[in-house]
Amino acid sequence: MKLNKFKSSEITPENFYINRRQFLKEMGIITGTAFASQNIITSALSYTPETERKITPYKFATTYNNYYEFGTSKSDPHKNSKDFITKPWDIKIDGEVENEITLSVEEIKNMIPSEERIYRFRCVEGWSMVVPWLGFPLNKLLNKVKPTSKAKFVKFTSVYDPDQMKGQRFPVLNWPYKEGLRIDEAMHPLTIMVTGLYGKELPNQNGAPLRLIVPWKYGFKSAKAIVNIKFVEKMPISSWMNASPKEYGFYSNVNPNVSHPRWSQATERVIGENIYSPRIKTVIFNGYGDEVAGLYDGMDLRKNF
Amino acid sequence: MIRIFKPTIFVLCLVPFIIIAYQILFNKLGAEPVKQVTHHTGEWTLRFILLSLAMTPLKNITKILAWIKYRRMLGLFAFFYGTLHLLTYIGLDYQFNLDPIIDDVLNKKFIFIGFAAWILMLPLVVTSNQKMVLILKQNWKKIHRLSYLIGIFAVLHFIWLSKTIFFEPLIYLIILITLLTLRLDFIKFLLKKKSVT
């Protein structure tokens, strides 16, 4: 697997961001930010699979979100999540495991250092961003438990708290939000648990305190505000599969050749571009085919959409 | 009264256009500018369709004839915003790249029905002036019953493009059903009876 195939200098991030990158590189440490207490490894800064596309401005990545727990409009999550309480926060890892565990987010952050990953983020609605996440491979967390031989899938459950999340007071989806991955997808080094973005702590509207990012799948697969990770034998039914099984499949890999029943997936709009910018072509597996196509060898991607 | 009202309402009907023109010119469209223009023009098309459909029921209920005088203008504004909506989709979103557009119209039901709604508006626009009312006589009424079909298509267009059960499309659906129900003969009968007694 060629993870270090691109140099970070090849991308053109926004100003404050490049400053931070250079600073991190030169100093090898992090100081003076809200994130100072966190455990971040800097060696991974050379890791970036992004060469062609510009990093999305921070403003858009944090104000243009799909997070129906806080409302169905794109601006709702930013508006309605301001007072959301994420401390204390426990995550239980259980199901088909020999040793189920409950860890606090603080414990997890101290145990596993975060690194930077610049990933493309493609929404099933046909728009995309490029986001510099801070996080760690999910496999490092999953390795804390021993799955039994029955375990085939991993099910993620997001928090249910209608008092704080007013979107959950309406049956838009079957709350709490549920997602799932096959174990090999969950263990894949590109699959990360996110603790921050743009060198900052993860904002509430982006799924604080801990969210998933699976860069080769449509954005809705990347569950936010996770409270439970369960190893299971049978393929989990995600909230979106439950809402519309013909439109949202379990795999939901980014694929320009398999269109959504109601719209095409061949192209995407780049967030932050101006009104006259054309759509760009969507790439299979969102451009991560070299790394992940092997997971689906021999599978009919049209059937397993 | 009508002399003052009509120009005022005409200017009011232009407000959504002025807003979006301002946002385009001063780059205030946010993260997804094309989608913003598409949604704005689409939403106002639907609103004007429903407004124009509301005039006859309002006349029947209030017994004030003046409502009818605004029906044509509201209908033409629906066509104006609908055309902007269509042009945004063809010109800004797909940059006049006809292949994906034809593919969408033929394969995606929400685009098909939206396009169909716009096409159905054409005969209404062509026959909207007073001269045509006189020429077509009874047929004019028949042709303009298409406006109900356009309303149904426009609401379906909105429902089908939504990802899940959203409130907004449902609100429009409820308004549409109310307006259609008010045109049913037995309701009209009830209203008439009431006014007699």
Task: Render pLDDT for A214-266 as a digit per residue (tens, 0 to 9).
Answer: 999 999 999 999 999 999 999 999 999 999 999 999 999 999 999 998 888 99
Facing residue for B29 by CB, picked from A259, A262, A275? A275
Taking phi first (over 0 means left), then psi (-120 to 50 degrees means alpha), and beta for anything else, what does residue A223 get? beta
Q: How far apart are the first and last CA of chain A?
A: 25
SS3 A83: coil
Taking phi first (over 0 means left), then psi (-120 to 50 degrees means alpha), and beta for anything else, what does residue A28 get? left
Distance between CA atoms of residues B170 and B155, nearest Å: 9
B103 neighbourhood in chain A, CB within 8 Å: 264
Distance between CA atoms of residues A233 and A251, nearest Å: 16
A→B contacts (Cβ < 8 Å), by residue, are 60, 63-64, 68, 72, 74, 125, 127, 170-173, 243-244, 259, 262-264, 266-267, 269, 271-276, 278-279
B30 neighbourhood in chain A, CB within 8 Å: 60, 64
Q: Token match 């298409």: residue?
A: B146
pLDDT above 60: residue A44: no
Q: Which pLDDT score is estimated for A304?
A: 94
Contact A74 B31 (CB under 8 A): yes
Contact B103 A276 (CB under 8 A): no
Q: Which pLDDT score is estimated for B188?
A: 64
Does the structural domain A8-296 have CATH classification 3.90.420.10? yes
Strand pairing class (A211-213; A267-270)? unpaired
Q: Which pLDDT score is estimated for A86?
A: 96
Contact A262 B109 (CB under 8 A): yes
Segment A112-169, tens digit of pLDDT: 999 999 999 999 999 999 999 999 999 999 999 999 999 999 999 999 999 999 999 9
Are B67 and B55 contacting, i.e. CB atoms less than 8 angstroms apart?
yes
Render B93-140 in DSSP notation, one character per residue.
Answer: ISTT-HHHHHHHHHH-HHHHHHHHHHHHHHHHHHT-SHHHHHHHTHHH
Contact A172 B29 (CB under 8 A): no
Distance between CA atoms of residues A21 and B22, nearest Å: 37
Q: How confident is the model at residue A196 (pLDDT cuts 50, 70, 90)?
A: very high
A127 neighbourhood in chain B, CB within 8 Å: 32, 35
Residue in A with minimal Cα distance to B30: A272
CA atoms within 13 A on the CB side of A53: 27
Which comes out higher in pLDDT, residue A69 or B107? A69
- Phi and psi of A244, rounded to 5°? -160, 85
Are A194 and A105 contacting, i.e. CB atoms less than 8 angstroms apart?
no
Are A221 and A179 contacting, i.e. CB atoms less than 8 angstroms apart?
yes
pLDDT above 60: residue A75: yes
B31 neighbourhood in chain A, CB within 8 Å: 60, 63-64, 74, 271-272
List of chain B residues with pLDDT < 50 = none
Render A246-295 in DSSP notation, one character per residue.
Answer: TT--SS-B--TTS-BTTB--SEEEETT--TTPPPEE--GGGGTHHHHGGG
Contact A244 B164 (CB under 8 A): yes
